[in-house]
């Protein structure tokens, strides 16, 4: 809900209120004092939702309105759309009028129906996780009580897969092929593969994010009005020397690093950039599926192989918890590779 970050020695807080991104100084260098202020802010942010009727069995429509009031303050629009899609599928299937009509057995029937409709098991699992998260949030906000109906519903088993990633040599070759297709594609590969930025973060990254301090250059990934980082998890990433050397001569005080990428009028440009990345991957004889995700996974995988702690990898990649990082990269730490990304 609210997150802390430092500017110099002073703690700042970042949060969303009434649809606006707020960042302000807490005027303290004490982490304890900053945490107390953060918790006070979060309590105030919850007040509007706590005014919702505290019924043990509210109407589905009332529950959903209260949930949306919270979601609009704390989730990205794309995430709200995803939640709405899964929720509407559930309510359309059950026909429930009140929340307690959505039972575990109804969830089980819903799961089977989705499979019969031809949905992939992974898609069904994603929907069940989303619905479970919605009910959990309703309980935290005090809108509903009782057991989450998704608790105890088994997800379809998924084969464990290590994340697909490029080796350092493959990354070097891809960077070479990307450079042949233009500076912006080269920068995109650098920021995804050597800093772990997500596709949306690359498209929206600003020069203000880049701290070119010679001793400890960093990339400060931050939300701003019109763009929200996943889970609002602002983070600071050590800047690889290669990124520093490439971007420093072109540095600006402010503005978008890729101004064409983020404008809806330039959707064609973004499609062409992806096509260029796919072509560069083919030139390097590398897989073309999920090109941005594979680059980001490469960053995490190479860090793990280098012996960087999972805690640091989690922070630098913006994972919601270190459990996510462990799931993907813990097994890779057994490798003994000399990578020296930083």
Task: Split the chain (342 residues) into runs of 10 and give each run's mean pLDDT.
Answer: 81 72 85 82 59 64 90 80 92 92 95 93 92 91 88 85 80 96 94 94 93 91 83 84 95 89 53 84 93 94 89 90 83 57 56
In a domain, residue 135? The reply is: yes
Residues 311 and 300: beta-carbon distance below 8 Å? no
- What whole-number distance in Å separates Cα of residue 95 and Cα of residue 102? 9
Residue 159 included in any domain:
no
| Residues 67 and 39 occupy one common structural domain | no
Same domain? 290 vs 320: yes
Query: Is residue 73 domain-resident?
Result: yes
pLDDT at position 244, please? 95
340 inside domain: no
Q: In what order do the strands lie in the sheet with 218-221?
A: 210-211, 218-221, 235-238
**Any domain includes 239:** yes
Asked whether residue 211 falls in the same domain as residue 326, the answer is: yes
Does residue 147 belong to any structural domain of this protein?
A: no
Q: Taking the mean position of all CA atoms in its chain, how far away is CA 182?
A: 28
Domain span holding position 20: 2-50
Concatenating the DSSP letter of every residue in 277-323 gives: HHHHHHHTT---SSHHHHHHHHHHHHHHHHT--HHHHHHHHT-SSHH
Per-residue confidence (pLDDT) for residue 340, from 0 to 100: 60
Structural domain contains residue 156? no
Q: Is residue 28 part of a domain?
A: yes
Distance CA 273, CA 186 (A): 11
pTM over 0.75: no
Tokens describing residue 310: 């999972």
Based on the fold, state whether residues 130 and 191 are members of the same structural domain: no
Q: Across the strands, what pairs with 237? A: 219
Q: How many domains does the chain have?
A: 3
Regarding whether 15 and 68 lie in a shared domain, the answer is no
Do 318 and 186 lie in a common domain?
Answer: yes
326 and 200 in a single domain? The answer is yes
User: Same domain, yes or no, for 89 and 191?
Assistant: no
pLDDT at position 50, please? Answer: 44
Q: Are residues 29 and 68 in the same domain?
A: no
pLDDT value for 56 = 60
Q: Is residue 102 domain-shared with residue 248, that is, in the same domain?
A: no
Return the number of other C-beta atoms located less than 10 Å from residue 6's C-beta.
Answer: 12
CA of 245: how far to CAs of 103, 137, 156, 249, in Å? 58, 45, 47, 7
My answer on whether 191 and 245 are in the same domain is: yes
> CATH code at 265?
1.10.443.10
Nearest in space to 56 (alpha carbons), one of 153, 138, 150, 152: 138
- 217 in the same domain as 318: yes
What does the pLDDT read at residue 14?
Answer: 83
């Amino acid at each position: 809900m609210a997150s802390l970050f430092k500017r110099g020695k002073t703690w700042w807080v970042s949060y969303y209120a009434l649809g606006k991104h707020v960042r302000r100084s807490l005027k303290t260098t004490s982490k304890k004092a900053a945490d107390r202020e953060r918790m006070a802010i979060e309590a105030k942010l919850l007040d509007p939702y706590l005014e919702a009727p505290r019924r043990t069995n509210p109407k589905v429509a009332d529950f959903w309105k209260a949930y949306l009031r919270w979601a609009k303050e704390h989730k990205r629009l794309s995430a709200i759309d995803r939640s709405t899609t899964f929720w509407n599928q559930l309510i359309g299937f059950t026909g429930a009028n009140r929340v307690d009509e959505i039972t575990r057995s109804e969830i089980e029937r819903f799961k089977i129906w989705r499979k019969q409709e031809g949905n992939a098991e992974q898609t069904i699992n994603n929907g069940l996780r989303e619905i479970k998260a919605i009910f959990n949030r309703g309980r935290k906000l005090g809108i509903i009580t009782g057991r989450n109906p998704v608790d105890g519903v088994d997800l379809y088993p998924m084969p464990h897969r290590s994340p697909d990633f490029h080796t350092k040599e493959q990354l070097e070759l891809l960077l070479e092929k990307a450079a042949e297709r233009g500076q912006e594609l080269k920068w995109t590969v650098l920021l995804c593969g050597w800093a772990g930025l997500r596709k949306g973060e690359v498209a929206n990254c600003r020069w203000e994010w880049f701290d070119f301090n010679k001793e400890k250059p960093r990339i400060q990934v931050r939300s701003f009005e019109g763009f929200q980082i996943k889970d609002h998890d602002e983070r600071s990433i050590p800047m690889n020397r290669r990124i520093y050397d490439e971007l420093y001569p072109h540095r600006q005080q402010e503005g978008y690093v890729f101004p064409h990428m983020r404008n809806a009028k330039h959707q064609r440009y973004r499609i062409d950039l992806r096509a260029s990345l796919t072509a560069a991957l083919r030139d390097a004889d590398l897989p073309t599926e999920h090109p941005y995700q594979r680059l980001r996974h490469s960053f995490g995988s190479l860090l793990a192989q280098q012996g960087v702690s999972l805690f640091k990898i989690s922070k630098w990649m913006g994972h919601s918890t270190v459990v996510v990082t462990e799931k993907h990269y813990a097994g890779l730490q057994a490798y003994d590779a000399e990578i020296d990304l930083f």
